[in-house]
Amino acid sequence: MSHLILLTSTFQTGYSEVSDWFIHHANQLLRDVGLSPQSADSFDRLVILGGVFLVAYITYLLLSKVVIRGVHGIVKRTKTRYDTILYDNFFFHRLFGLVPPLLVEFLAPLAFKNPDNMLLGFIEKGVAVYVTIIFIKVCTALINSAFQYFANGNSDGYQTYKSAAEIMKISVIVFGCLVIVGIFLSKSVAGVITGLSAFAAVLMLIFKDTLLGFIAGLQLAEYKMVKVGDWIVVPDSLANGTVIEMSLITIKVQNFDNTIVTVPPYSLISGQFQNWKGMSDSGVRRIKKTILLDQLTIKRIDESFIAKVKDNPILGGYLDDKYMTENTGGITTSPRDMTTNVGLFRVWVQHYLQNNPDVSVNPYIVLQGDESTGAGYPFLLNFFINTTVWQDYEIIQSRIFEEIMTAVEVFDLKLFQYKTSIQSGLPQ
């Protein structure tokens, strides 16, 4: 311990001697150029300060123009990935940015005989604030680099890493702000926090969305509920499109009309939303639609009606004997399906869909008469098509239903139209 005290005392004595030497020679230089002793005594410190800032600026130029290029060359020659990520996130640029202000901090006292000089204190506080800001930037660059390194190629953990990175950056920024406040107030961080304890409730209100969003983001990522690229629908908002960005406090959704909707992550946890990822991954998409048939046109049929229908070219041959007698694609036609025109229509639709290349036979094709509401006979079609592309989906869906609705009249059926169907059933 005594050796350390002796070393510190020796350094302070040497530093003071160097300071006196600089001040003396600066004063002498000013006198040599014609200034009076009084003026020389006033400006000698400013000359030294100017020299200190000039040295710091030259150091900055050397680091930013020369050294950083050398670092870039080294990074390009190495095969490791982490140094490239650090360079791309400006970690080295910001790290070297700490050197000039530290030089000012170290050399500025040379211009002052009295270490308690007010101007020196102002310079030291300014340098401390500047160093704190640069240090925050260094830390955020390091956090961004770590996030990029670990999240790259890891789609499952992407949101978890991003949420963790954002909360770390927020923590660094908040801590840095507390340090800056402490510098101006000449207090420690603990003292600043103690002084701000009265505003804790206000701070909680300010960061409420951030905290809730962080927890919600972790839950969404942990349970793989949603990620960038998913198509989601949020019932209580206008969001119905693709997730393009997720952060602690917002999820950006690009709707199909290219409008952008933002929703807080917490609303997805506290409420409900629909994720179409399962549909996209399966490669098929369901169609569930109802055709309303006029109940007054449903009737029993005989063999002559069946024979007439079979020959109609609109039906594409799907009621030929081959389809009526053989098990085609797992479908067996029962004689009981041939007693009514709507039953025969259902058989034809089943075979038509079964043999349509745009329709997937898996997981199912279900045709059924739904519960009647008095507005026609609901004929429900429930099946899947072999695409998840929205435009193709709509085209194929339209094409299929145009074919089916055109074929309705072949079976002596009519589509239900409210006014026409009701009036046709009235007594004459």
Q: Does any domain span residue 362? A: yes
Pairing between strand 377-385 and 359-360?
A: antiparallel
* Cα dist from 51 to 18, 44, 115, 124, 269, whole Å: 15, 11, 18, 16, 60
pLDDT at 370: 84
How many other C-beta atoms can be found within 10 angstroms of the C-beta atom of residue 238?
12
* Last residue of one domain, picked from the residues 135, 152, 169: 152
Q: Does any domain span residue 203? A: no
How many other C-beta atoms can be found within 10 angstroms of the C-beta atom of residue 381?
20
What tokens appear for 93 in the block? 């640029």
CB 351 within 8 A of CB 338: no
**Whether 9 and 143 share a structural domain:** yes
Q: Mean pLDDT in each 10-residue stretch from start to end of the chain (428 residues)?
A: 45 52 63 60 67 87 90 87 87 90 84 72 89 93 89 70 82 88 82 69 71 77 81 90 85 92 88 86 90 92 85 73 50 67 90 91 87 85 91 94 93 84 51
**Whether 358 and 401 share a structural domain:** yes
Report which of 244, 280, 277, 276 is spatially closest to residue 259, judged by C-alpha positions.
244
* Last residue of one domain, picked from the residues 152, 178, 212: 152
Q: Does any domain span residue 160? A: no
**Whether 370 and 308 share a structural domain:** yes
pLDDT at 8: 42
* Prior bond of 427 cis (ω within 30°): no
Residues 6+ apart with CB under 8 A from 163: 214, 217, 218, 221, 248
Query: Measured between alpha carbons, how far is 382 from 290 in angstroms, rounded to an integer?
Result: 9
**Whether 132 and 261 share a structural domain:** no
The residue behind tokens 């949101």 is 159
Q: Does any domain span residue 319? A: yes
**Whether 266 and 303 share a structural domain:** no
**Whether 42 and 144 share a structural domain:** yes
List the domain range (segments joined by +) for residue 259: 223-279
Query: Measured between alpha carbons, how far is 332 from 322 in angstroms, rounded to an integer?
Result: 11
DSSP states of 211-262: HHHHHHHHHHHHTT---TT-EEE-TTSS-EEEEEEE-SS-EEEEETTS-EEE
CB 64 within 8 A of CB 96: yes
**Whether 14 and 41 share a structural domain:** yes
Q: Does any domain span residue 161? A: no
Q: Does any domain span residue 166? A: no
Query: Measured between alpha carbons, how far is 48 from 108 in angstroms, rounded to an integer?
Result: 8
Q: Where residue 258 sits, what CATH number does that domain have?
A: 2.30.30.60
The residue behind tokens 């490791």 is 80
CB 93 within 8 A of CB 65: no
pLDDT at 328: 47
**Whether 28 and 146 share a structural domain:** yes
**Whether 290 and 252 share a structural domain:** no
Q: Does any domain span residue 192? A: no
Q: Where residue 376 sits, what CATH number does that domain have?
A: 3.30.70.100
Q: Where are the alpha helices (DSSP H) in 118-242?
A: 118-151, 158-185, 189-196, 200-206, 208-222
> How many separate domains does the chain show?
3
* Last residue of one domain, picked from the residues 100, 119, 152: 152
**Whether 306 and 418 share a structural domain:** yes
**Whether 275 and 394 share a structural domain:** no
Query: Measured between alpha carbons, how far is 163 from 204 in angstroms, rounded to an integer?
Result: 19
pLDDT at 418: 74
> Residue 231: left if φ>0, alpha if ψ -120 to 50, beta else—which one?
beta
Q: How many CA atoms lie within 13 A of 181 on its CB side?
A: 14
Q: Does any domain span residue 140? A: yes
How many other C-beta atoms can be found within 10 angstroms of the C-beta atom of residue 81?
11
**Whether 90 and 116 share a structural domain:** yes
